[in-house]
Copies of this chain bind each other. A is one copy, B any other.
Amino acid sequence: MKKYVLGADIGGTTVKLGLFTTAGELLEKWEIPTDTEQSEKILSDVAESCKEKLRGKGVSPEECLGIGLGVPGPVRPDGSVDMCVNLGWQEKQVKKEMEELLGIPAAVGNDANVAALGEMWQGGGNGCENMVMVTLGTGVGGGIIVNGKVVSGAHGYGGEIGHLLMNPHETRKCNCGKTGCLEQYGSAPGLVRMVERALEDGETDTILKNGEVTAESIFRAARDGDAFAASMTEQFAEILGRGLSYLAGVTDPEVFVIGGGVSRAGEVLLEMLQRHYKAYVFGRQKETKFSLATLENDAGIYGCAKLMMG
A contact set with B: CB distance below 8 Å: 74, 82, 128, 130, 142, 144, 146-147, 149, 151-161, 163-165, 168, 176-178, 242, 245-255, 280-285, 287-288
Contact = CB atoms under 8 A, between A and B. Distances in A.
> How many monomers of this chain does the complex have?
2
Nearest to A279: B178
Contacts of A288: 154-155
B74 A283 contact: yes
Contacts of A280: 165, 178
Contacts of A176: 282-283
A155 B287 contact: yes
Given A147-B149, A153-B130, A164-B246, A251 B158 contact: yes
A178 B282 contact: yes
Nearest to A154: B254
A161 to B, nearest CB: 5
Given A144-B251, A146-B146, A282-B178, A130 B154 contact: yes
Residue of A144, A154, A252 with most chain B CB atoms under a 10 A cut-off = A154
Contacts of A246: 164-165, 246, 249-250
A288 B160 CA distance: 15
A245 B176 CA distance: 14
A147 B252 CA distance: 17
Contact of A155 (B147, B157, B250, B284): B284
Contact of A165 (B245, B284, B285): B245
A249 B177 contact: no
Nearest 4 pairs of A and B residues by beta carbon: A153-B252, A154-B254, A155-B284, A157-B252
Given A154-B288, A178-B282, A246-B249, 8 more contacts: A130-B154, A154-B255, A157-B248, A157-B284, A163-B281, A165-B280, A250-B251, A251-B251
Given A164-B245, A245-B164, A246-B164, A252 B158 contact: yes
Contacts of A142: 249-250
A177 B282 contact: yes
